[in-house]
């Protein structure tokens, strides 16, 4: 189904000379923009109408002309009448659109080309609905409201404004937490969204690049019915999940988009966003990945009775599924991913772990998921941890043994699993074991960057079967994809995305 109206991909241009602006207009078109916004207030010197002529004569795409004054977060600090004269000259030279602030005198400007704009760089206006209604009642052709987002629920408020408006509307929640409003603008039928030519060329906080919108976020494929997914975390900007899942949707032909969701620590922040999602069934929000620090909050929100048994034991949910009727389900794909990577490498079913000696190094979040799963399948587990008390607490909870790191010299186990960061990028020379103890047949390093850690190199040299953190990482993304879509995940596509990211990061 096509979107209600074709949402323009607008490239804001913040060049300091008219000549550079002209060149950037062609580049924006080449990268998929439908329109450019000429930010005249970024020019080193105020332009004359003669400067504007070559920019507005036969432009490659539609042109929005903006000369934002300092009082609205722009850079123009000259005379207001000179600013309005510049906009009038742009109109006479054929600019498609003129961005005019709500407090400006727009009487001499053509109303059918005005984008009437309001900006709030502090927060979401408390009177957002009244403000939107006032814009709707004005003679201007298009409404624009941009405000700073405190959390991703503010992005949903921006989408509400677009949906409720009688006129074409741009509503944007600025900042990293608001990026969903920019990505989903097309699904909701906004007038447009902004995408920069390059990283760092933003005219407002949180603008993705054109390449991110058209490539990573599948702009050209978004429709009114596209299902929405995302990853909740803090921080979340480094997460590979949007790249993995969007590539997987593309490869598998799934009508979905996956966005990053920056939610500050604290159950109240988590709850506020989930409540906001569930109050808007028209979003078609179907799934959420949950990472640090919200996995416990996810379990509490979904409710233990709607989570899988091991998620309850571990005390953490990393996957939420939202059914079309709004009901929720919580899963923990971390443990399943780890245990299946191990069992696949050993060529045994999960039940085949019963009675096998397993040493787990570390007692943090990753160790907890593994110890819960291993003891569930009746493996004989010993936790070795630097802080013995923490190791003992974990061991007591899951009825297994604990030892300090000084006991590693006498380690006797068939399987060793490293759940510490020893050997992780950038300190790749470190290794949790100086030698591979006799009798060890399988070594699993949960670290995925680098894929081949020093521990795994030692293990291979000693003839052990090796399991990588990459196997575990890809498994958990595959499990999420299959849980949400009910279709087989394109595993090799997902694995290649991770490898590409790791190569470019190191």
Nearest residue by C-beta to ligand NAP? 364
Q: Which positions from 346 through 385 interact with ligand NAP, judged by CB under 6 A?
A: 362-367, 385
Tell me, yes or no, if 119 is annotated catalytic.
Answer: yes
Q: Which of 8, 119, 187, 313 is catalytic?
A: 119
Q: How far is the CB of 476 from ligand NAP (least distance, A)?
A: 6
Q: Does 181 bind ligand NAP (CB under 6 A)?
A: no
CA dihedral 219, 220, 224, 227 (to 10 degrees): -60
Q: Does 229 bind ligand NAP (CB under 6 A)?
A: no
Judged by CB under 6 A, which of 100, 302, 422, 456 binds ligand NAP? 422
Q: Does 421 bind ligand NAP (CB under 6 A)?
A: yes
# binding residues, ligand NAP (CB under 6 A): 22
Q: Which positions from 74 through 133 interact with ligand NAP, judged by CB under 6 A?
A: none
Residue 224 or 482 having the CB closest to ligand NAP: 482
User: In terms of Cα–Cα distance, which of 414, 430, 474, 423 is closest to 445?
Assistant: 423
Q: Concatenated DSSP letters for 112-133?
A: GGEEEEEEESSS--TTHHHHHH
Residue 342 or 422 having the CB closest to ligand NAP: 422
Q: Does 497 bind ligand NAP (CB under 6 A)?
A: no
Place of tokens 């085949």: 352
Q: Does 69 bind ligand NAP (CB under 6 A)?
A: no
Q: Concatenated DSSP letters for 406-465?
A: GGGGG---SEEEE-S-TT-TT-TT--S-SS--TT--EEEE---SSSS-HHHHHHHHTT-E
Residue 156 or 338 having the CB closest to ligand NAP: 338
Phi, psi angle pair for 14, to nearest 5°: -115, 35
Q: Does 247 bind ligand NAP (CB under 6 A)?
A: no
Q: Which positions from 389 through 408 interact with ligand NAP, judged by CB under 6 A?
A: 390
Q: Does 386 bind ligand NAP (CB under 6 A)?
A: yes
E strand segments, 142-281: 142-148, 169-174, 192-194, 227-233, 256-262
Tell me, yes or no, if 334 is annotated catalytic.
Answer: yes
Judged by CB under 6 A, which of 12, 152, 189, 469 binds ligand NAP? 469
Please tell me the distance from the alpha carbon of residue 114 to that of residue 101, in angstroms, as a whole number. 10
Q: Does 48 bind ligand NAP (CB under 6 A)?
A: no
Cβ 158 vs Cβ 130: under 8 Å? no
Q: Does 420 bind ligand NAP (CB under 6 A)?
A: yes
Please tell me the distance from the alpha carbon of residue 486 to that of residue 55, in angstroms, as a whole number. 50
Q: Which of 131-147 are b and which e, b meaning 16 or more Cβ less than 10 Å from the residue's Cβ?
A: bbeebbeeebbbbbbbb
Burial of 112 (0-12, 13-18, 19+ CB in 10 A): exposed
Cβ 415 vs Cβ 356: under 8 Å? yes
Residue 257 or 472 having the CB closest to ligand NAP: 472
Question: What is the H or E stretch that residue 322 is in?
Answer: strand 319-322
Q: Does 446 bind ligand NAP (CB under 6 A)?
A: yes
Judged by CB under 6 A, which of 358, 424, 442, 456 binds ligand NAP? 424
Question: What is the H or E stretch that residue 401 is in?
Answer: strand 401-404
Judged by CB under 6 A, which of 184, 339, 472, 494 binds ligand NAP? 472
User: For ligand NAP, which stretch binds (CB under 6 A), given 233-241, 273-281, 325-333, 386-394?
Assistant: 386-394
Tell me, yes or no, if 8 is annotated catalytic.
Answer: no
User: In terms of Cα–Cα distance, which of 29, 27, 25 is closest to 38?
Assistant: 25
Please tell me the distance from the alpha carbon of residue 413 to that of residue 400, in angstroms, as a whole number. 14
Tell me, yes or no, if 501 is annotated catalytic.
Answer: no
Residue 193 or 418 having the CB closest to ligand NAP: 418
Q: Which residues are catalytic?
A: 119, 144, 295, 334
Residues that bind ligand NAP (CB under 6 A): 362-367, 385-387, 390, 419-422, 424, 446-448, 469, 472-473, 476
């Amino acid at each position: 189904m096509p979107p209600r109206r074709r949402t323009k991909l607008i490239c804001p241009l913040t060049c300091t000379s008219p000549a550079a602006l002209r060149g950037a207009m062609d580049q924006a078109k080449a990268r998929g923009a439908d329109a450019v916004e000429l930010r005249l207030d970024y020019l080193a010197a105020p332009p004359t109408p003669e400067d504007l002529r070559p920019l507005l004569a036969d432009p490659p795409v539609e042109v929005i002309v903006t000369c934002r004054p300092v009082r609205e977060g722009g850079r123009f600090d000259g005379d207001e009448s000179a600013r309005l004269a510049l906009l009038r000259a742009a109109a006479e030279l054929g600019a498609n659109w003129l961005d005019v602030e709500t407090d400006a005198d727009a009487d001499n400007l053509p109303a059918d080309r005005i984008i009437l704009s309001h900006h709030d760089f502090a927060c979401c206006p408390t009177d957002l609905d009244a403000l939107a209604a006032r814009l709707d009642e004005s003679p201007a052709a298009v409404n624009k409201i941009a405000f700073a987002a405190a959390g991703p629920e503010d992005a949903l408020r921006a989408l509400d404004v677009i949906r409720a408006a009688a006129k074409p509307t741009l509503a944007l929640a600025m900042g990293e937490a608001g990026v969903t409003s920019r990505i989903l603008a097309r699904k909701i039928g906004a007038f447009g969204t902004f995408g920069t030519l390059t990283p760092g060329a933003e005219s407002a906080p949180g603008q993705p690049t054109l390449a991110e919108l058209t490539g990573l976020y599948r702009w050209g494929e978004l429709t009114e019915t596209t299902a929405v997914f995302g990853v909740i975390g803090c921080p979340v900007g480094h997460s590979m999940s949007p790249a993995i899942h969007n590539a997987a949707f593309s490869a598998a032909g799934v009508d979905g988009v996956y966005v990053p969701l920056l939610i500050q620590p604290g159950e109240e922040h988590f709850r506020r966003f989930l409540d906001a999602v569930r109050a808007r069934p028209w979003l078609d929000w179907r799934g959420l990945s949950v990472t640090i620090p919200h996995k416990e909050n996810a379990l509490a929100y979904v409710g233990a009775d709607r989570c899988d048994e091991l998620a309850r034991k571990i005390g953490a949910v990393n996957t939420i599924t939202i059914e079309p009727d709004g009901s929720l389900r919580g899963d923990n794909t971390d443990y399943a991913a780890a245990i299946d990577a191990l069992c696949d490498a050993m060529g045994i079913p999960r039940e085949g772990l019963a009675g096998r000696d397993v040493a787990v190094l570390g007692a943090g979040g990753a160790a907890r998921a593994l110890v819960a799963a291993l003891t569930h399948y009746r493996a004989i587990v010993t936790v070795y941890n630097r802080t013995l008390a923490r190791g003992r607490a974990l061991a007591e909870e899951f009825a297994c043994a604990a030892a300090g790191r000084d006991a590693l010299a006498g380690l006797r186990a068939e399987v060793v699993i490293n759940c510490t960061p020893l050997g992780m990028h950038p300190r790749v020379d470190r290794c949790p074991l100086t030698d591979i103890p006799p009798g060890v047949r399988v070594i699993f390093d949960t670290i995925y960057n680098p894929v081949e850690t020093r521990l795994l190199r030692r293990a291979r040299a000693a003839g052990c079967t090796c399991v990588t953190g990459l196997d575990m990482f890809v498994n958990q993304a595959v499990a999420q994809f299959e849980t949400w879509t009910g279709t087989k995940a394109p595993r090799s596509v997902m694995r290649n995305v991770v490898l590409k990211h790791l190569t470019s990061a190191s």
